[in-house]
Amino acid sequence: MSRQVLAVVALLAAGAASAQTIVVRADRLVDVRDGDYVSPAIVVIDGERITGVNPPTVPPGARVIELPGKTLLPGFIDLHTHLTLTLDGDWKHQAATETAADWALLGARNARVTLLAGFTTVRDIANNGGFPDVALARAVDKGLVDGPRIVPAGNSLSITGGHCDTTGYAPGVLETTPEDGAVDGVDAALKGARYQIKHGAQVIKICATAGVLSAEGPAGAQQLTDEEMRTIVEEAARHGVRVAAHAHGTAGIDAAVRAGVTTIEHGTTLDEATAKLMKQKGTFWVATSYVWDVLDFPGMTPTMQRKRDELRQRIGASLRLGLKHGVKIGLGSDELWVHGRNAREFTTLVRHGLTPAQALRAGTLTGAEALGVTDRGELAPGLLADIVAVGGDPLGDIKAVEDVKFVMKGGKVYKQP
């Protein structure tokens, strides 16, 4: 956004304010496109949209929200949440002892704390099954539950026995089908993708490789075949749906990128060749770097601990490679335990070499781009009024974003100092 655009009142003339007009006034705002501060910060909101940024005059009679000492930012976007999961207590048996209704209600609680942490949009990828994420997204849209705008994935598609399948039970107990996400072969992959979309998935999550919190030995081994992944990506595209691929190992990352997925989740062992390929294909990378700091909790088996210890050594070097080659980095927290800590991912990305401005762009504009939406991600006339405010100096010390003081989503205030 240029300064000239900022200075223009887009839609509202200086006439009387409508009943819904709100003016938010703070010390400054972050222009996430340029990575600069703009002062002062006067944002005019009519209904659910921003109608002016720093206009020459503000509409008389508007409701004014004063935020002295604060910096405005666009609402944050987390591309990798699990709102309907909390891994605590007997987490390995949740699939056998709880229902989708339990997970939807848990999700309502997690959605609220995530919104209050400044995240006004999330892409929720993977849950325990039964479409609690789709139900939660609908409940938020209806105003029944306070939460971010949710892009739900339904059931993740995985090979039988793979990272995103339900494992650890005796034969005949909790067996899974393509509808549940267990897909073997092209026909099952088609059925699995179509079934998720039929029941409300707005993104398809696939498990391209093994992972940490599952029973397999090698954490990075490719699981879905190249052909299965291509089939899913092509089918999803026919519905206008994008694909997010969980991938740790280099070969699996490479296969998923070649299959045409929109985002690589984790991407823990990127190398020069895969980084260059992602840059060339425009694949987004959701590095989930913060999760490695907190991946230590009751119930992890020795195999899981070994895989975690192997992979977390790699994320720093991989991020440096991704930056070097200009891979588009979007922010994703992978928060599975204490929901609402999502903003720590900004801080961890900076620790691994992003500038605060680059990290802020990852969690706003690039997130919107990865979702394929142009109605959010920055503070500009015509966009959704998803606005947060923080104290401190976020472009100097990124930790300021971990303490959000004000949250507005779609013109409605959810948190105020």
Judged by the rule CB under 5 A, the positions of this chain that interact with Zn ion are 334
Smallest gap from Cβ 205 to Zn ion, in A, equals 9
CA end-to-end span of the chain: 28
Nearest Cα residue to 388 out of 55, 17, 19, 78 = 78
The region that residue 394 occupies, defined by phi over 0 for left and psi between -120 and 50 for alpha, beta otherwise, is alpha
Smallest gap from Cβ 334 to Zn ion, in A, equals 4
Q: Which is nearer to Zn ion, 33 or 341 (CB)?
A: 341
Question: How far, in Å, CA of 78 to CA of 64, rounded?
Answer: 29
Q: Which is nearer to Zn ion, 216 or 334 (CB)?
A: 334
Q: Which is nearer to Zn ion, 32 or 247 (CB)?
A: 247
Crossing angle of helices 315-324/272-281, nearest 10°? 50
Smallest gap from Cβ 335 to Zn ion, in A, equals 9
How open is the CA angle 139-108-43, to the nearest 5 degrees?
A: 75
Give the residue carrying structure tokens 């204490």: 338
Q: Which is nearer to Zn ion, 146 or 334 (CB)?
A: 334
Nearest Cα residue to 363 out of 269, 268, 284, 275 = 284
Smallest gap from Cβ 202 to Zn ion, in A, equals 17
Smallest gap from Cβ 182 to Zn ion, in A, equals 18
Q: Which is nearer to Zn ion, 167 or 355 (CB)?
A: 167
Say if CB 126 and CB 164 are below 8 A apart: yes
Smallest gap from Cβ 62 to Zn ion, in A, equals 42
Smallest gap from Cβ 11 to Zn ion, in A, equals 39
Nearest Cα residue to 196 out of 145, 129, 272 = 129
For 342-364, the three-class secondary structure string (H helix, E strand, C coil) is CCHHHHHHHHCCCCHHHHHHHCC
Nearest Cα residue to 287 out of 234, 378, 350, 341 = 350
Dig out the tokens for 247 from the structure: 């991938």
Q: Which residues contact 347 (CB under 8 A, 6 or more apart)?
A: 290, 359, 398, 399, 401, 402
Return the SS3 of 272. Answer: helix
Measured CA to CA in angstroms, residue 66 lies from 25, 26, 28, 42 at distances of 5, 6, 12, 10
Smallest gap from Cβ 176 to Zn ion, in A, equals 18
Q: Which is nearer to Zn ion, 235 or 334 (CB)?
A: 334
**91: which DSSP letter?**
G
Smallest gap from Cβ 218 to Zn ion, in A, equals 18
Question: Which residues share a beta bridge with 26?
Answer: 41, 67
Q: Which residue is at the shortest CB distance from Zn ion?
A: 334
Dig out the tokens for 30 from the structure: 């972050």
Q: Which is nearer to Zn ion, 79 or 388 (CB)?
A: 79
Q: Which is nearer to Zn ion, 59 or 107 (CB)?
A: 107
Q: Which is nearer to Zn ion, 224 or 400 (CB)?
A: 224
Q: Which is nearer to Zn ion, 248 or 409 (CB)?
A: 248
Give the residue carrying structure tokens 């984790």: 266
Smallest gap from Cβ 15 to Zn ion, in A, equals 48
Q: Which is nearer to Zn ion, 335 or 378 (CB)?
A: 335
Question: How far, in Å, CA of 246 to CA of 367, rounded?
Answer: 17
Smallest gap from Cβ 282 to Zn ion, in A, equals 22
Give the residue carrying structure tokens 């939406």: 373
